[in-house]
């Protein structure tokens, strides 16, 4: 390689052109997609969960108890939305169910909840797995998942098919709308963003054999779902060693991110999915409503599908909660945005470990390292300025084969 070529590579490394920057972001999307795949329920786990909750529904509906004859069991929460994230420190996923009494009358929620509990206790299989919670009954399948079963009845005051579920103490009903919430989320998730990279960069890659960075530039399976999973996992790691109860609940993150996603997709065009991810995360707080009663700030994150459900109601009783949210949000934005500036798998792996958990980052990076080692051994691995490792024919320096990745 002559002196002029070396200078050219140095200039590219210091000021990589937009195509190289986009290629680097495409590589990050591939990493984050694999990270999300490790967090969610597998197809086999989803099928097992389906069989479990359908069995519970059949058992409850077969009761002679009048309150249970018209029950319909269905998924709600992250499993229904496709945004599950494996909890830190345990293997079980949380699977949230609604036991909806379609002919329900406005009786005390504690009575309906007790009827569900009695019926479950009559089953010799369910009884040892059963645990009573404040609003629901929990069936714990060790090393699999928890089934949380919350009773509900129709909400006659909601014209959008809303329901009433027990409050925390099961003393009265409160408005909710799990099916309406899911429908709205799915409509937003179906919105397709405008990405320049799909129209320009990917076409150039396929036609000219230009850069194809390692790992493969796979996109997100579903962008909104992946954004929610990434935010939830970052939250879990951020609050792991902080006092219990400070972390923003998942429905707040999901609601704000889905609103932000719709706004961003309808208003802007982005170079890559990574740019969209960062902007959606950055704009989350714009959709929090604030009011003042003259003494303090009141916070509202409304359930848009029914009247009167404020997901942030606890923020108005504990000033630490909104403060904790905004601290987490600032850190999450920083941790995501800085990824685009990092080069080198070791550096990226360390940063991912700090943001999303070291064991998860190690698992994801190990699968990539295996692919890098295979390409190194075949002589296909190169280093491209502004991108890093690549297997494509670009202005790149070949990497010598060895038996230990990272050593010359």
The predicted-structure confidence for 104-143, as pLDDT tens digits, reads as follows 677 889 998 999 999 999 999 999 999 999 899 999 998 8
Among 59-63, 99-103, 172-176, 383-387, the minimum mean pLDDT is found in 383-387
The predicted-structure confidence for 339-354, as pLDDT tens digits, reads as follows 999 988 889 999 999 9
- Those residues whose C-beta lies under 8 Å from the C-beta of residue 266, and which sit 6 or more positions away, are 191
Q: Which two tokens stand for residue 127?
A: 């009884």
Inter-residue contact 139 to 126 (CB < 8 Å): yes
φ/ψ (deg, to 5) at 149? -110, 110
Q: What pTM was computed for the model?
A: 0.84
The percent of residues in the chain predicted with pLDDT above 70, rounded, is 80
How far is 334 from 173, CA to CA, in rounded Å?
40
């Amino acid at each position: 390689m002559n002196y002029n070529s070396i200078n050219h590579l140095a200039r590219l490394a210091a000021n990589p052109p937009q195509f190289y920057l986009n290629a680097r972001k495409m590589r990050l999307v591939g990493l984050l997609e694999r990270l999300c795949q490790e967090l969610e329920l597998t197809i086999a786990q989803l099928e097992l969960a389906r069989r479990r909750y359908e069995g519970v529904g059949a058992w409850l509906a077969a009761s002679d108890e009048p309150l249970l004859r018209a029950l319909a069991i269905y998924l709600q929460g992250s499993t229904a939305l496709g945004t599950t994230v494996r909890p830190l420190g345990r293997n079980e996923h949380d699977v949230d169910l609604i036991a909806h009494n379609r002919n329900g009358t406005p009786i005390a929620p504690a009575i309906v909840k007790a009827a569900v509990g009695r019926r479950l206790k009559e089953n010799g299989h369910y009884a040892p797995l059963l645990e009573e919670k404040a609003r629901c009954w929990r069936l714990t399948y060790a090393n699999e998942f928890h089934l949380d079963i919350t009773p509900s009845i129709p909400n006659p005051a909601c014209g959008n098919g809303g329901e009433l579920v027990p409050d925390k103490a099961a003393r009265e009903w409160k408005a909710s709308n799990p099916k309406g919430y899911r429908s709205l989320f799915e409509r937003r998730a179906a919105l397709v963003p405008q990405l320049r990279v799909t129209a320009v960069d990917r076409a150039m890659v396929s036609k000219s054999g230009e850069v194809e960075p390692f790992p493969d530039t796979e996109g997100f399976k579903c962008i909104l779902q992946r954004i929610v999973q990434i935010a939830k996992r970052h939250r879990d790691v951020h609050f792991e060693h902080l006092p219990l109860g400070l972390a923003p609940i998942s429905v707040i993150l999901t609601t704000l991110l889905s609103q932000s996603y719709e706004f961003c997709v309808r208003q802007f065009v982005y170079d890559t999915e990574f740019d969209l991810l960062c902007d959606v995360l950055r704009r989350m707080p714009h959709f929090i409503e604030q009011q003042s009663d003259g003494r303090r700030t009141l916070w509202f994150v409304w359930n848009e599908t029914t009247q009167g459900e404020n997901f942030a109601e606890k923020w108005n009783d504990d000033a630490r909660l909104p403060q904790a949210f905004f601290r987490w949000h600032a850190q999450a934005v920083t941790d995501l945005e800085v990824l685009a500036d990092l080069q080198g798998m070791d550096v990226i792996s360390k940063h991912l470990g700090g943001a999303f958990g070291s064991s998860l980052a190690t698992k994801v990076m190990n699968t990539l390292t295996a692919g890098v080692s295979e390409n190194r051994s075949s002589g296909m691995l190169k280093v491209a300025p502004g991108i890093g490792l690549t297997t494509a024919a670009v202005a790149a320096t070949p990497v010598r084969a060895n038996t230990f990745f990272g050593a010359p």
